[in-house]
Amino acid sequence: MRTLTTVRRLHSSRPALLVLLLCAALYACAAGDVVAQEHGSSSDDHGADSGSVEESHAAPADAHATPADHGQATESHGEDAHGAPADAHAAEGEHGEGDAHGDGHGGAMPHLPNALTFIKQWTPDSVDAKLDKFLDPIFSLTMALLLALVFVLLSRKLDPRKPGRLQMAVEMLLGGLYSLFETIIGPSARRYTPYLGSLFIFILFNNLFGIVPLGHAATSSFANTTFALGGLTFLYVQFIALKENGIGGWLFHLAGSPRSGVEWGLVVLFFPLHVIGELIKPLSLSLRLFGNIFGEDTLVATMVLLGAGISYSLSGGISHIPGLPLQFPFYFLGLLSCTIQALVFTLLSTVYIALWLPHEHHDEAHAH
C-alpha cells in the first residue's frame, strides 16, 4: 500500500516537475541573453584592442623603407614608448574602476539578472547608477516588508481551534526555533527569541530570494548586508553582556574570569586576546554567510550561462531558444545551503549570547 501511495504521489507531481523544468529552461535562455549582452561589450572592446595592436605591428614594416624614414620612425617609436602606454594605463584604470564600482559583487563574476535589470531598460542612466548602488538595500527592504506583511495578515487570522496550513507552518517554525534556543540558553531564551527568530527568518528568505527568478539574494553582498547583520548581532550581544553582568562583570569576563594569582598575572595577555576575539566574531559571521551565498549564486549563474551557450550552439545560432536547465540540480543544493547558512548564523549568535550570561543561566539550561 505504501508503494502504491508513493507511486501515485510521484505521478501526480510529474506535471508540476515538468512545468518547473520548462520555466528553468526559459529563464536560462533569458538570463543567458542578458549575461551575454553584459559580457559581449567587453569582448568587443578586447577585439578592438587586438585589431589596434595588429595595426601597430604592421606599421614598422613600412618604417624600414628608407634610412631617413627609419630615423623618423625611431623618434615616433620613442614618443609612443613614453606617451601611448600612459594612455593605455589610464584606460586600464578607468576600466578597473568601472568594474569595481559597477555592481559591487565581483565585477567579472557572472550574475543572474534580477527585476531591476529589466526595470533599468526604461530608466535614464542617472537612475541606473543609483539602482546599481542601492541594489542590496532595495531587495533587503522588499523582503522585510513582505515578511512583515505576511505576519501582520497572519496575526489577524489566528484561530487556535481551526488553524490553517500557513498558521501551522509558522507555529512549527517558531516552536522549533524556540526549542533550539531553549536548549542552548535555558528558560530565559524567551527574551532573546524575538531577535534570534527574526534573524533566522530574515536571512533564510533573503538567501532563498536569490534562487527565485528575477530575485536577488542581498546576503551575497558583504559590504551592504552581511557585515551589517554581523555588526548588529555584535551590538546586541554586547548590550546583553552589559545588562546581565554590569560594567565590572563585563570587564571581568573579558579578563578571562581570573581566580588565582597566576590567572590574574595572565590578565595582561588574556584581556587583549578576548577583546580581539569579540571583534573577530561578527567578521567571521559576515564572511561565512557572504562567501557561501555569493558562491552559490555564482555557480547557478555559471550553469545558466553554460546551458544557454550549449543550446545556442546546438541550434545553429538561433537566438531566444530555451536554454538547457543545467542549473536545475543546483537549486536543491541551494535550498540546503541557504537553510544551513541561516541556521549556522543564528546558532552561533545564540551561543555568543549564552557565553555572556551568568553561570546560573547555564546551570538552569543543563538541569532543564
> For residue 73, which amino acid is it?
A
Contact assessment for residue 270 and residue 223, using Cβ atoms and an 8 Å cutoff? no
Out of 31-35, 178-182, 248-252, which region has the weakest mean confidence (pLDDT)?
Answer: 31-35
Per the structure block, which three cell numbers stand in for 73? 620612425
> Under a CB-based contact definition with an 8 Å cutoff, are residues 111 and 306 in contact?
no
Cα–Cα dist 274/289, whole Å: 23
Task: Write the pLDDT tens digit of every residue in 44-65.
Answer: 444 444 444 344 444 444 444 4
Higher pLDDT, 276 or 305: 276
| pLDDT digits 0-9 by tens, 285-308 | 999 999 999 999 999 989 988 988
Question: Which range has the top average pLDDT, 65-74, 96-105, 281-290, 355-364?
Answer: 281-290
Contact 208, 335 (CB under 8 A): yes
Q: Which pLDDT score, from 0 to 100, does residue 130 have? A: 86
Phi and psi at residue 69, in whole multiples of 5°?
A: -65, -35
A 10 A CB-CB count for 98 gives 10
Q: Which amino acid is at 67?
A: P
Residue of 179, 190, 205 whose CA lies nearest to 353 = 190
**Beta bridge mates, 214:** 114
Measured CA to CA, the distance from residue 49 to residue 51 in angstroms comes to: 5
CA-CA distance, 43 to 228, in Å (whole number)?
A: 36
Residue 38 in this model has a pLDDT that exceeds 60: no
Residue 309 binned pLDDT confidence (cut-offs 50, 70, 90): confident
Which of 89-93, 231-235, 328-332 has the highest average model confidence (pLDDT)? 231-235
Rounded Cα distance, 59 and 81, in Å: 15
Single out the residue of 216, 202, 207 nearest to residue 115, CA to CA: 216
